[in-house]
Structure 1
Amino acid sequence: MKLQEKYQKLLILILLLLAGFYFLYLVRGILFPFFMAGVIAYLVNPMIEKLLGRGFNRVGAIILLFSMLLTISLIFGVFGLPLIVEELNSLSQTLPTYVNSLQTRLDQLCKDLQRVKMPAILKQVADQTLQKVEQAGLDFLNRLTDLIFNFLSHLMSLVMAPIIAFYILKDLEILTESVKSWVPRKYQREVFKLWNDINKVLSGFMRGQFLVAIFIAILTTIGLIILKVNFAIVLGAIAGAFNVIPYLGPILGAIPAVAIVLIKSPIRALGVVILFIVIQQIESGLISPRIMGESVGLHPLTVIFAVLAGGQIGGVVGMILAVPIAGVVKVILKFIYVKLAE
């Protein structure tokens, strides 16, 4: 009888979880600010803990930190945001011109290849390759444009996220105890040990990548301004955002800047390529070792596979989330393996 009651409780729990996931699926359109709030709270909580260690109470520490972040945001909003909006407007107006120019260059390249004497099969392969390159370039520009405008459409959600994050941080201890109450007492030690292991994987990676991305965005923007490249701020921001994708990110982040300059001047495009190479050397040699700290502990081949799989499943967002998710999966599988081996 006790075994039957246990299975009944387990069935009810599973049904409640499924109902909860289905409800979240129905209201998925409003979840973005809550997701961003969780990310903000996770990123800044270590700084809150340091302030608590120096005698601040929790609310005072949160207000102080958020005041600093708000000041930085206002300075950025006053001086940086208008420049970004202006560049985005200019980019949206000139993008068709760049696409047409790229189309013209590719058409000319096709004509030049047709004049070259080569076997018919090689000409066919060359034509197909150029068509694929052209389509890939256009797809990339379209996705990049969609990504930028999707980001702008979520600005209101981004404004709400810090407010929600404030309440998460304010009541973090209450929320933690609430989560603990849902875990049976005999499993609490193991469950929270697993969470601590997951937190070690995520904390160094997420906070480190965020800071590295900011450094890359700033360095790239300054370099592109020196080289007198149009849309330097937007291109720098794109380079910083893509840099959170291991191995492939720096290449993807460089493509828009190189492509825009290449259409007008191949020689200047070479200068942009050199700029990105120098920045990546600075990042890998000086910035990342000082900032990243703990890593996810994955083999490079595993990281590359995870990034490609994430891109296949979820596009750019999937590529960004692939490595931390892979790190978490590794910790969980290791935990399960240890438990089964006992």
Structure 2
Amino acid sequence: DAGFIFVFSFIGYQVMGVQYAFLFALVAAVTNVIPYIGPYLGLVPVVLAYVATDPKKMIIAIIYIMILQQIDGNIIYPRVVGGAMKIHPLTIMVLLVLGGNIYGLIGMLVAVPGYAIIKEIVKFAAGVYDYHKKNKIVL
């Protein structure tokens, strides 16, 4: 996910003519690892660098990164996390919405990992049950 942000931030910054595009894209990629606020922290150096010298370029960079973050957050991230945890991307989005509505930011942070842990426990318990049932072992 961070690699996606790095590549497309770098390409966008290069097209816009932003100086130090590589460095700004690297900061965006590293801060993208921080959930929910990281993408916006990655935008701060570009804003600070261009707020006084070229506000038009700063606004274009903000709009570009916001669009990139929407694509990442709604398409790329659920697929990456879903592939790693073997959870359907739609399930991840539903968990994030429900977790956020019920418990706010903390709910969003723990919804997907909590679901993954519970899912694995249930799969393990079902496997143990099936093993015992197949071999007629009494618990």
TM range, smaller chain: 0.5 to 0.7
1:227 deviates by: 0.5
Per the TM alignment, residue 303 of structure 1 is displaced from its structure 2 partner at its CA by 5.6
Q: Which runs of 5+ in 1 are unaligned?
A: 1-211, 307-322, 336-342
User: Which amino acid is 1:266 matched to?
Assistant: P
Alpha-carbon shift at residue 232 of structure 1 (Å): 0.4
Amino acid at match of 1:255: V
Matching of residue 292 in structure 1 with residue 81 in structure 2: yes
Q: Summarize the alignment of residues 33-182 of structure 1 with structure 2, pairs less than 5 Å apart.
A: none
- Structure 1 residue aligned with 2:67, among 259, 264, 278? 278
- Which residue is 2:53 aligned to? 264
One-letter amino acid matched to 1:257: V
Q: Does the CA-based 8 Å contact 1:246-1:303 persist in structure 2?
A: no
- How many residues get paired? 99
Distance 2:43 2:7 in 1: 14
TM (norm. structure 1) is 0.26
Which residue does the alignment assign to 2:33?
244
Higher alpha-carbon Rg? 1
Query: CA–CA distance in 2 between the matches of 1:280 and 1:303?
Result: 21
Deviation per residue, 1:75-125 (Å, 9 max, x gap): xxxxxxxxxxxxxxxxxxxxxxxxxxxxxxxxxxxxxxxxxxxxxxxxxxx
Which structure's residues are more often helix, by fraction?
1
Q: Which residue of 1 aligns with 2:13?
A: 224
1:302 is matched with which residue?
106
1:218-274, Cα deviation, whole Å (9 max, x unpaired): 100110011101110011011011111111011101111121121211111110111
Distance 2:30 2:16 in 1: 21
Q: TM-score by structure 2 length? A: 0.62
1:136-188 superposed Cα distances (whole Å, 9 cap, x missing partner): xxxxxxxxxxxxxxxxxxxxxxxxxxxxxxxxxxxxxxxxxxxxxxxxxxxxx
For 2:43, the equivalent position in structure 1 comes to 254
Q: Highest relative contact order (Cα 8 Å, sep 6+), 1 or 2?
A: 1
Q: Contact 1:254 / 1:273 at 8 angstroms: preserved in 2? A: yes
Counterparts of 1:265 and 1:216, CA distance in 2: 23
Q: Sort the Cα spacing of 1:262 and 1:246 in 2 relative to 1 into closer, same or farther, 3 A.
A: same
* Structure 1 CA distance for aligned equivalents of residues 54 and 66 of structure 2: 19
Distance 2:47 2:9 in 1: 12
Q: Secondary structure at the match of 1:264?
A: coil
Q: What's the CA shift for 1:279?
A: 0.6
Structure 2 portions without partners, runs of 5+:
122-139
